[in-house]
Amino acid sequence: MKIATLSYSAAQGFSASLPTIAMPQCLVLVFGHSDFSDDHTPFNALQTQYPQAIIMGCSSAGEILGKRIHDNTLVIAVISFESSQLRFAHAVVHDVQESRYTGRLLADQLSGENLRGIFVLSDGLHVNGSELAQGFNDVLQNIIVTGGLAGDGEKFSRTWVLQHGKPVERMVTALGLYGNISIGHGSKGGWVPFGSAREVTRATNNVLYELDGQPALALYKKYLGEMANGLPATGLRFPLALSQPGEAKELVRTILAIDETAQSLTFAGDIPVGAYAQLMRANIDQLVEGAENAAIMSATETDQSVLCIAISCVGRRMVMGANAEEETEAVLDILPDTTQQIGFYSYGEISPYAKGDCDLHNQTMTLTTWYEPDIT
């Protein structure tokens, strides 16, 4: 496997010449600012240079390339595979209620002999991420599914996913990897619960109406104080931890929208009635430690070229501010020296909790690593 990375800005164009490829299987990964939905210039150039390649990508709340974080750019990885195979599938989500069906549809299209893993990129505003993940789980067994939901900075206005090399809304894409490919994954947060755990007493799918019988938005605003004026963006600093009675697994949910009339909160994934919800917060050291733990989970010993796709939540970046690159640096400090990293800040991360079925996560650093083992 050969990997080349570069960036693009509207002012300066590509940071380097687009590399040539010689291997039969090629993937071009692209993550970038939501405004590129109106500027197809770089996408046209990529399609011209790589007419036979799979071009896959989405909008972001910040772009990751190596140890650095960029804004208002595209970051690009051109990956040539020598001994593994790729297949690509996509589907439009017309309504959020179609999210689980969409996951099933894509999983069915990619199921096949020697399937090792699936990488998913989804619209970030019109898809229920936990239902999408469950759709993949309905079809697949013992297959690693990772990925993320597209971002739009702190605006929550529009997101895009590439279809046929063009940015479009309401799109979910999935890449199947087959044959001689080693896939690692890790997902950790670093957030710490505070305040009382409250029962979810009224919710529908990913919309939370009541906690302990009280209006959810009013109760949430009480905890946030003056920061409530900046909702939904400020809610990224205070996600909810969800747990089921008697279960050790804890999932984190981030706010996407609020409804003053209904006094409700809309999240990136489902909020089950009967679960217990607790506010969370973190400091920089805790979040960096979370990124380190994700890298430890996904790390492998190899001298082959490794691609690390880093998907971190926009809420982590808001908390870390100018120190956000500490988490991208921490990841590369742990992974093999042959690793190249690309990624984005997202509205949700898809990964197994530890192993097994995939879940939607929020406020995590989620890593996917690929390399082709030596078969000689």
333-346 per-position pLDDT tens digit: 999 999 999 999 99
According to the model, what pLDDT value does residue 24 have?
Answer: 79
According to the model, what pLDDT value does residue 28 have?
Answer: 98
For residues 297 and 92, give the distance between their C-alpha atoms in angstroms, rounded to a whole number.
Answer: 33
Specify the length of the chain in residues: 376
> Using one digit for the tens of pLDDT, what is the confidence trace for 140-199?
999 999 999 999 998 889 999 999 999 999 999 999 999 999 999 999 999 998 888 999
pLDDT band at 233 (very low <50, low <70, confident <90, very high): confident
> Using one digit for the tens of pLDDT, what is the confidence trace for 45-66?
999 999 999 999 999 999 999 9
Residue 34 has pLDDT above 80, yes or no: yes
Residue 376 has pLDDT above 70, yes or no: no
pLDDT band at 110 (very low <50, low <70, confident <90, very high): very high
According to the model, what pLDDT value does residue 41 have?
Answer: 97
Q: What is the mean pLDDT of residues 71-87?
A: 97
Rounded to the nearest integer, the mean pLDDT of the chain is 94
pLDDT band at 217 (very low <50, low <70, confident <90, very high): very high
Residues forming a β-bridge with 346:
313
- Closest by alpha carbon to 365, among 302, 270, 296? 296
pLDDT band at 251 (very low <50, low <70, confident <90, very high): confident
| Portion of the chain with pLDDT greater than 70, in percent | 100
Residue 353 has pLDDT above 90, yes or no: no
For residues 145 and 368, give the distance between their C-alpha atoms in angstroms, rounded to a whole number.
Answer: 9
According to the model, what pLDDT value does residue 111 have?
Answer: 97
Residue 373 has pLDDT above 80, yes or no: yes
Q: What is the mean pLDDT of residues 77-104?
A: 96
Which is it for the CA torsion 184, 189, 190, 193, positive or negative? negative
Distance of CA 125 to CAs 40, 330, 348, Å?
A: 21, 29, 10
| Portion of the chain with pLDDT greater than 90, in percent | 85
Decide if 113 contacts 122 (C-beta within 8 A): no
> Using one digit for the tens of pLDDT, what is the confidence trace for 286-295?
999 999 999 9
According to the model, what pLDDT value does residue 21 have?
Answer: 86
Residue 250 has pLDDT above 90, yes or no: no
